[in-house]
A and B are shown apart, each in its own frame.
Chain A
Amino acid sequence: MTKRVLMAVAVTVALFVAAGCGGDDSSSSSGTTSGGKSAGLKPPKVAMANSVGQGEGKLNVIVWAGYAEDGSEDKSVDWVTPFEKSTGCQVDAKTGNTSDEMVTLMRTGRYDGVSASGDATLRLIAGGDAAPVNTKLVPNYGDIYAGLKNQYWNSAAGQMYGIPHGRGANILMWNPKVVKQAPTSWGAVFDKNSPYKGKITAYDSPIYIADAALYLQKHNPELKITNPYELDQKQFDAAINLLKTQRGNVGQYWSDYTKEQQAFAQGDSVVGTSWQVIANLLDADKVKVATTLPSEGSTGWSDTWMIAAKAKHPNCMYKWMNWIVSPKTNAAVAEWFGQAPSNAKACDYTSDKGFCDTFHAADQAYFDKVKYWTTPRKDCGDARGAVCKDYSAWVQAWTEIKG
Chain B
Amino acid sequence: MSRRSAGARLADRLHGRRRVQVGLLLSGPLAWLGVAYLGSLVVLFVAAFWQLDDFSGKVVHSYSLDNFRTLWDTPVYRTIVLRTVGIAALVTITDILLALPLAFYMAKIASRRVRGILVVAVLMPLWASYLVKVYAWRTMLSNDGIINWALAPFGLSGPGYGFVATWIVFSYLWLPYMILPVYAGFERISNSLVDASGDLGGRPATTFMRVVAPLVAPAVVAGSIFTFSLTLGDYITPQLVSSSQFIGNVVYANVGVANNLPLAAAFATVPVVVMVAYLLIARRLGAFESL
Q: Which positions in A face B, CB cutoff 8 Å? A: 8-9, 12-13, 16-17, 20-21, 23-24, 27-28, 30-31, 33-34, 37, 98, 100-101, 103-104, 107, 123, 126-127, 198-199, 205-206, 250-253, 255, 259, 262-263, 266-268, 375, 377-378, 390-392, 395-396, 399-400, 402-403
Q: List 14 A-B contacts (CB under 8 A).
A: A13-B38, A16-B39, A20-B42, A20-B43, A28-B60, A123-B56, A198-B160, A266-B139, A268-B161, A377-B55, A390-B54, A392-B54, A392-B258, A400-B76
B54 touches A104 (CB 8 A): no
Given contacts A12-B34, A251-B161, A399-B76, contact A98 B257 (CB under 8 A): yes
A100 touches B259 (CB 8 A): yes
B145 neighbours in A (Cβ, 8 Å):
266
A403 touches B143 (CB 8 A): no
Contact partner of B61 among A13, A27, A391, A402, CB < 8 A? A27
Complex Cα distance, B144 from A392, in Å, reads 38
Contact partner of B257 among A37, A126, A205, CB < 8 A? A205
A390 neighbours in B (Cβ, 8 Å):
54-55
B55 touches A126 (CB 8 A): yes
A400 touches B74 (CB 8 A): yes
Complex Cα distance, B74 from A123, in Å, reads 26
The secondary-structure label for the interface of chain A is: helix
Complex Cα distance, B260 from A205, in Å, reads 14
Asked if B58 CB lies within 8 Å of chain A CBs, one says yes
Given contacts A17-B42, A31-B62, A251-B243, contact A9 B74 (CB under 8 A): no
B46 touches A17 (CB 8 A): yes
Count of B interface residues, CB-CB < 8 Å? 47
Supply 19 further A-B pairs (C-beta < 8 A) apart from A16-B38, A123-B55, A392-B260: A8-B30, A16-B43, A17-B42, A30-B60, A31-B60, A33-B56, A104-B257, A123-B56, A250-B243, A259-B240, A262-B142, A266-B144, A267-B142, A377-B55, A390-B55, A391-B54, A392-B52, A399-B76, A399-B245
A28 touches B55 (CB 8 A): no
A199 neighbours in B (Cβ, 8 Å):
143
A101 touches B43 (CB 8 A): no
Complex Cα distance, B234 from A59, in Å, reads 34
Which A-chain residue is minimally distant from B161 (CB atoms)?
A252
Which B-chain residue is minimally distant from A24 (CB atoms)?
B61
Shortest CB-to-CB span from A393 to chain B, Å, is 8
B38 neighbours in A (Cβ, 8 Å):
9, 12-13, 16
Shortest CB-to-CB span from A16 to chain B, Å, is 4
A13 neighbours in B (Cβ, 8 Å):
38, 42
Contact with A along B9-52 (1 / 0, CB 8 A): 00000000000000000000010001100110011001000011
Contact with A along B132-158 (1 / 0, CB 8 A): 000000110011110000000000000
Complex Cα distance, B38 from A400, in Å, reads 32
A103 neighbours in B (Cβ, 8 Å):
57, 259
Complex Cα distance, B256 from A101, in Å, reads 6
Asked if B253 CB lies within 8 Å of chain A CBs, one says yes
B51 touches A107 (CB 8 A): no
Shortest CB-to-CB span from A134 to chain B, Å, is 23
Which B-chain residue is minimally distant from A201 (CB atoms)?
B243
Which B-chain residue is minimally distant from A100 (CB atoms)?
B257
B46 touches A395 (CB 8 A): no
A375 neighbours in B (Cβ, 8 Å):
55
Shortest CB-to-CB span from B74 to chain A, Å, is 7
B34 touches A399 (CB 8 A): no
Complex Cα distance, B291 from A37, in Å, reads 55
Given contacts A396-B70, A400-B76, contact A104 B259 (CB under 8 A): yes
A206 neighbours in B (Cβ, 8 Å):
257-258
Contact partner of B55 among A259, A268, A391, A396, CB < 8 A? A391
Q: Which positions in B face A, CB cutoff 8 Å? A: 30, 34-35, 38-39, 42-43, 46, 51-58, 60-63, 70, 74, 76-77, 79, 138-139, 142-145, 160-161, 240, 242-245, 250, 253-260
Shortest CB-to-CB span from A235 to chain B, Å, is 19
Shortest CB-to-CB span from B189 to chain A, Å, is 30
A28 neighbours in B (Cβ, 8 Å):
60-63
Nearest first, the 4 A-B pairs at minimum CB distance are A267-B143, A24-B61, A31-B60, A100-B257
B57 touches A123 (CB 8 A): yes
B63 neighbours in A (Cβ, 8 Å):
24, 28
Which A-chain residue is minimally distant from B240 (CB atoms)?
A259
Shortest CB-to-CB span from B35 to chain A, Å, is 8
Which A-chain residue is minimally distant from B51 (CB atoms)?
A31
B55 neighbours in A (Cβ, 8 Å):
37, 123, 126, 375, 377-378, 390-391
Complex Cα distance, B257 from A169, in Å, reads 22
By CB atoms of chain B within 10 A, which of A28, A31, A206 has the most?
A31
A12 neighbours in B (Cβ, 8 Å):
34-35, 38-39
A17 neighbours in B (Cβ, 8 Å):
42, 46
Complex Cα distance, B181 from A383, in Å, reads 67
Contact partner of A395 among B58, B77, B144, B260, CB < 8 A? B260
By CB atoms of chain A within 10 A, which of B39, B54, B79, B160 has the most?
B54
A253 touches B243 (CB 8 A): yes
By CB atoms of chain B within 10 A, which of A21, A101, A266 has the most?
A266
Complex Cα distance, B15 from A31, in Å, reads 56
B161 touches A403 (CB 8 A): no
B161 touches A127 (CB 8 A): no
A8 neighbours in B (Cβ, 8 Å):
30, 34
Complex Cα distance, B46 from A378, in Å, reads 28
Complex Cα distance, B242 from A329, in Å, reads 39
Complex Cα distance, B259 from A17, in Å, reads 23
A98 neighbours in B (Cβ, 8 Å):
257
By CB atoms of chain A within 10 A, which of B56, B58, B253, B256 has the most?
B56
Shortest CB-to-CB span from B99 to chain A, Å, is 31
Shortest CB-to-CB span from A149 to chain B, Å, is 24
Which A-chain residue is minimally distant from B52 (CB atoms)?
A392
B58 neighbours in A (Cβ, 8 Å):
127
B79 touches A403 (CB 8 A): yes
Which B-chain residue is minimally distant from A252 (CB atoms)?
B243
Complex Cα distance, B260 from A377, in Å, reads 16
By CB atoms of chain B within 10 A, which of A9, A12, A199, A250 has the most?
A12
